[in-house]
Amino acid sequence: MSDSLTTILEGRRSQPHMLIEVLQDIQKAHGYVSREAVSTVSLELGVPLMEVFRVANFYKAFSLEPVGKHVVTLCLGTACHVRGANPLVEQALSLLGLEDEGTTEDRLFTIEAVNCLGACALAPLVILDGVYHPNMTPAKLRALLRRVQRAESKEGVGHA
Amino acid sequence: MPKITSTQNLEVLHERLRAERDDGALLMTICGGPGCQATNCQDVVTEVKKELGSNGLNGKVRLRVTGCHGFCEQGPIMVIDPSNIFYHHVGPEDVSEILNRTVRDGETIDRLLYTDPATNKKVVTEADVPFYQAQSPTLLSQNRWVDPLSIEDYIAIGGYGGLAKVLSGMTPEAVIEEIEASGLRGRGGGGFPTARKWAACRAARGEEKYVICNADEGDPGAFMDRGVLEGNPHAVLEGMIIGAYAIGCEKGYIYVRNEYPIAVDHANEAIRQAREYGFLGKDILGSGMTFDIEVARGGGAFVCGESTALMASLEGKVGEPRPKDIHTVEEGLWNKPTTLNNVETWANVPSIINRGAEWFAGMGTDNSKGTKILALTGQVKNTGLVEVAFGTSIRTVVDEIGGGGRDGRTIKAVQTGGPSGGCLPAALFDLPVDFDVLWEKGSMIGSGGLVVMDEKTCMVDVARYFLKFLQDESCGKCVPCRIGVDRLLEIVTDIVEGRGRPEQIELLKELGETVAQTALCGLGKTAPNPALSTLRYFPEEYEAHVSEHRCPAGVCTALIEYSIDSAACNGCGACLKSCPYGAIQGEKNTLHAIDPHLCTKCGICPTTCNENAIIVQ
């Protein structure tokens, strides 16, 4: 068991009702909930394996796959929808060569669309790696993503 | 800080804190709500702290970073009191000038003043900003005077005074009677009388009981609860403690959605402080009462706004609702009697106790008392959080507070109440904000989301949008919701994609009514509302899609074509560069053209054209 998982489980063992809290912390620490984590949590909290999977699958907060280095969150709430969120999705997908939400092959970007982030006055809203970008347009989004791409390709060259 | 052990000690502390804040120093308030944070108000705060240290104004200026003031569109917002000067779009580069000219010399800086779009005149004070003038601020306005991380700020404005009043002589029954007399109804969407819930839970058998604060604000287009819990967490705690006293319980939970990390932090910090000061824990204010609160983070499931699903989630399970033949006030969390109220409902309680039921009931309409916080968003000039007395017309909210349509466009509808609500046409804008009136008209006030839609919004697409949302969020437990919503979405998708048949419109109505009657929980029962209300008020738009294969708003991609207006295009090349599909051709400074075979109608190019030369029809 990893150290962080031990810390997360501290004081919560054998308490099935702590399942969601534990999964939240794992998601936050690791960026996703791995198969191993699911098995450990099942044993330590005393929740059947199937129930842990069911809960991890039911709630949007949990991802069972690792996410990319950069996460682009596109808000599709009502306010963002009427102020033009769809062109932003098109822009992000076409620029990163994705057909649908998900992670690029090089694992640099994950695109996720969410229902509402509760900052509707700033619509349409995009979050890149936790930073809010209000009143987005496709052109602004393109520039933003290209900047990250350029920085990444420089870094890649540096490491080679 | 030693524990406060009596209501008298609280009164002494209140007086001291109030006097300390009344020492004649200038008060510089910076809004730290989500809107202003997104426009980097933290940089302004950092700069102010740095400058205050270096130019000798320390001690003469008190800086306070607060929760949301509501006028999110204008952030970052700064107000300087006592002169009440209102600055908007403040950047870190403005700070030095503000300190030198406004704080030291008492001058106003013109470029930072808000311009009233109606008169084109500069507005100097916050009180004169039209956005605030038509509002009835009672709850949201507390945000202005409180640093959410400071319990002392809250005590200074009379915070925990309601609790003190309750604990110094009111019986639990008297508290419930006071809430009953105020007419307070649940702010989360249902509008159920709060006192009736409390009384039933108090009467329910069992020693162990719970109170829960629902802060799982899942409605897209709503952020009222975020504004209150982030900006004024102690008001929520105080309301819950008073409720716990009235009901007779020792444990409470705040269920916050995980997408609101600041709300989680502020609630946790407020709980820590309340324990330290003796408002939570054992022997609260020396009264013998025991009560504590814990924060639980939601997992991001809309259905958890439904009380029984939320309770299942608190127990660590999948958030599926159960039939409500046994009420949660009798068997709720862990099958114990449980009272669940929404953030705004709890936060209203302290003021009702403090200022009296009569004061609260003096605002509003016959059946909807007090005020309601609305999230005003969409195609309107001034977006943000607004608080109006019930009975205020939708027109006042949209035109006076919201400032009317954006870019000179005509507003045609408002969508209220989130996915459970409906769309009301502009012809009904004289209707009051009221629980029952909006319900009769096929919509609902819900939790308070109010999304403004104009001529460029397609109402059939809006119905499709909400049905898609509800299909995603349906937990799948009951057949009417799982399969019924699927079929509704299928029909509406046929219509927006040009395959609609006239008989489908009747089917949509019939199926919608069936789902509403037979689904298990509130999510399913109200799921057909967006489709039924748009069908009721905008039949001509459905008609145009089905019979003429035309989308009047120019939204539904299967029914529209993109072209370039040869008179307006100046050949600048912006659209050509923006098109991800290479569908636009043309030389620099000559007329451009769109290849319909390559164009996916993605909507990107119109946002780049400064000449409005892209025609969508």
Q: What is the value of ipTM here, to two decimals?
A: 0.91
- Tell me if A141 sits within 8 A of A126, measured CB to CB: yes
Closest chain B C-alpha to A160 CA, distance in angstroms: 30
Question: At a CB cut-off of 8 Å and minimum separation 6, what does B496 contact?
Answer: B458, B460, B461, B464, B545, B551, B556, B558, B559
Of B600 and B392, which is predicted with more confidence?
Answer: B392
Question: At a CB cut-off of 8 Å and minimum separation 6, what does B174 contact?
Answer: none
Predicted confidence (pLDDT) at residue B324 exceeds the cutoff of 80: no
Contact: B418, A81; criterion CB under 8 Å: no
- Tell me if B141 sits within 8 A of B408, measured CB to CB: no
C-alpha distance from residue B416 to each of A157, B214, B439, B508 (Å): 52, 20, 10, 21
**Chain B 455-494, residues with CB within 8 Å of chain A CB atoms:** 457, 462, 465-466, 469, 472-473, 475
CA distance B69 to B80: 14
CA distance A122 to B6: 45
Strands B210-215 and B338-342: parallel
What is the arithmetic mean of pLDDT over A106-123?
90
DSSP class per residue in A115-154: S--S-GGG-S-EEETTEEE-S--HHHHHHHHHHHHHHHHH
C-alpha distance from residue B517 to each of B334, B500, B513, B529 (Å): 29, 25, 6, 12
Percent of chain B with pLDDT over 90: 83
CA distance B69 to B76: 10
A contacts of B449 (beta carbons < 8 Å): 78, 120
Q: What is the mean pLDDT of chain B?
A: 94
Instruction: Return the amino acid letter for B40.
Output: N
**Chain A 82-121, residues with CB within 8 Å of chain B CB atoms:** 82-84, 86-87, 90-91, 94-95, 114-121
Give chain B's largest Cα–Cα span: 83
Question: At a CB cut-off of 8 Å and minimum separation 6, what does A60 contact?
Answer: A114, B299, B300, B301
- Tell me if A116 sits within 8 A of A77, measured CB to CB: yes
pLDDT at B36: 92
Query: Coil, strand or helix: which one is B66?
Result: strand
CA distance A81 to A88: 10
What are the tens digits of pLDDT across the range A56-83? 999 988 999 999 999 999 999 999 999 9
Q: What share of chain B is helix, strand, coil (3-state, %, to 5)?
A: 45, 15, 35
Residue B56: pLDDT band by 50, 70, 90 thresholds?
A: confident
CA distance A155 to A112: 24
What are the tens digits of pLDDT across the range B327-385? 999 999 999 999 999 999 999 999 999 999 999 999 999 999 999 999 999 999 999 99
The pTM of the whole model exceeds 0.90: yes
Query: What counts of helices (H) and strands (E) characterise chain A?
Result: 7, 5
CB-nearest to A82 from B258, B296, B453 is B453
Closest chain A C-alpha to B190 CA, distance in angstroms: 20
